[in-house]
Amino acid sequence: ATKPKLYYFRGRGRMESIRWLLAAAGVEFEEEFIETAEQYEKLQKDGRLLFGQVPMIEIDGMVLTQTRAILSYLAAKYDLYGKDLKETVRINMYADGTLDLMLMIALAAFKPPAEKEESLALVAQKAQTRYFPVFEKILKDHGQDFLVGNKFSWADIQLLEAILMVEELNASVLSDFRLLQAFKTRISNIPTIKKFLQPGSQRQPPPDSHYVEVVRSILHF
Ligand SMILES: CCCCC[C@H]1O[C@@H](O)C[C@@H]1SC[C@H](NC(=O)CC[C@H](N)C(=O)O)C(=O)NCC(=O)O
């Protein structure tokens, strides 16, 4: 079978969570990195970007856009989306929360230097005061190895991704969260994720000035 193919810039942005989900599910995927306006305009002209936007993924004979729609499709396809609707809605709640947090970080890369530092500090603080306490309590109340049911799901994958991203901003961010520290170790040791965390995987590095310049020049913003 043909591998899923991802179309996005060479960076994290909105596509990184899709890379994580595919990798955690053990699914090999290909990428076309959009480096020029011509590439982007050709995708648009060919009518492959529904609202003229990326991320876009080709999978199962479909051309999909809209990050959350793609993530939901992949979670369901790879049985990472709960055993019933009540579990699925919790996974959606947790995934939406971690996506909100990660998009704040991703967007901060596009702010002017002074503002960028301040907004990243704010995000790290929000992670510590709003998001991580919620997940620490969920792990405590739920008393299981995973956030939902007692099965590995999309919610676990995305929480680990968010933890690592916030730790890049502030290495001691988990110091008050004992259960999250254990969660991070447990989920990082899942073989498919352990492999994705090794150097040389398809994981993208934090945004740098080159990435910001490429995205700005292509999207004219
Ligand atoms: C998350 C931030 C990462 C850095 C850059 C991205 O942030 C976005 O603001 C721009 C890019 S992502 C690229 C951007 N994509 C989206 O905004 C997709 C939003 C959609 N709801 C989704 O979730 O997939 C884009 O194609 N814009 C062209 C344009 O709308 O005409």
| H, E, C per residue of the chain | CCCCEEEECCCCCCCHHHHHHHHHCCCCCEEEECCCHHHHHHHHHCCCCCCCCCCEEEECCEEEECHHHHHHHHHHHCCCCCCCHHHHHHHHHHHHHHHHHHHHHHHHCCCCHHHHHHHHHHHHHHHHHHHHHHHHHHHHHHCCCCCCCCCCCHHHHHHHHHHHHHHHHCCCCCCCCHHHHHHHHHHHCCHHHHHHCCCCCCCCCCCCHHHHHHHHHHHCC
pLDDT over 90 percentage in the chain = 98
Strands 5-8 and 30-33: parallel
What residue's CA is closest to ligand 1, atom 24?
Answer: 66
Closest ligand 1 atom to Cα of 70: 24
Query: What length is written for the chain?
Result: 221
Nearest CA to ligand 1 atom 20: 66
Under the banding of pLDDT at 50, 70 and 90, the label for residue 1 is confident
CA–centroid distance, 215 to ligand 1, in Å, is: 10
Question: Is 206 near ligand 1, meaning CB less than 6 Å away?
Answer: no
Query: Hey, what amino acid is at 160?
Result: L
pLDDT, residue 196, reads 98
- How far apart are the CA of 176 and the centre of ligand 1, in A? 34
Neighbours of 74 (CB within 10 A): 23
Average pLDDT over the chain, rounded to an integer:
97
Span 43-72, pLDDT tens digits: 999 999 999 999 999 999 999 999 999 999
Average of per-residue pLDDT across 165-173: 96
Distance (angstroms) between ligand 1 centre and the Cα of 14 equals 7
Task: Report CA(149)–ligand 1 centroid distance (Å).
Answer: 32
The token pair at 13 is 């942005």
pLDDT at 199: 97
| pLDDT tens per residue across span 106-156 | 999 999 988 999 999 999 999 999 999 999 999 999 999 999 999 999 999
On the question of pLDDT at 214 being above 90, the answer is yes
For residue range 188-204, what is the model confidence (pLDDT) as tens digits? 999 999 999 999 999 99
pLDDT (tens digit, 9 = 90+) per residue, 68-87?
Answer: 999 999 999 999 999 999 99
Residue 218 has pLDDT above 90, yes or no: yes
- 127 in contact with ligand 1, CB cutoff 6 A: no
Of 28, 16, 18, residue with least CA distance to 165:
16
pLDDT tens readout for residues 20-39: 999 999 999 999 999 999 99
Binding site membership of 11 for ligand 1 (Cβ less than 6 Å): no
Pocket test for ligand 1, best of 6, 14, 39, 214 (most atoms within 8 A of CB): 14
The number of the ligand 1 atom at minimal distance from the alpha carbon of 14 is 1
In contact, 204 and 16? CB cutoff 8 Å: yes
CA of 98 relative to ligand 1 center, distance in Å: 17
Q: Count CB neighbours of 8 within 10 A.
A: 23
Q: Distance between CA atoms of 179 and 196, rounded to whole angstroms?
A: 23
